[in-house]
Amino acid sequence: MSTATYTVIGMTCGHCVSSVKEEVSEVPGVTGVEVDLPTGLLTVHSDGPADDSAIGAAVTVAGYSLASAAEAS
């Protein structure tokens, strides 16, 4: 199991958080998603290493963008 963290830019409310969680949770291999609104921190748990481009695309579909990515296992 892997965990990757990202910073999402542009979220301002609970609906924003829900949108990001919903889109990212649909990425293949993702087993869990946590979003912290005040910090913009997105934590993604997955079966293997997270596909950064797929996570970024999902965040974009939700209407936001990623500032940075850092991975930890």
| In the chain, where the domains are located | 2-72
Domain 2-72 has what CATH class? alpha beta
The whole-number mean pLDDT for each consecutive block of 10 residues of the chain, a chain of 73 residues, reads 94 96 97 97 93 94 82 44
What is the chain's Cα-based Rg? 11
Model confidence pLDDT, tens digit, residues 19-38: 999 999 999 999 999 999 99
Q: How far apart are CA 71 and CA 73, in angstroms?
A: 7
Whole-prediction pTM value? 0.89
DSSP of the chain: -EEEEEEEES--SHHHHHHHHHHHHTSTTEEEEEEETTTTEEEEEESSS--HHHHHHHHHHHT-EEEEEEEE-
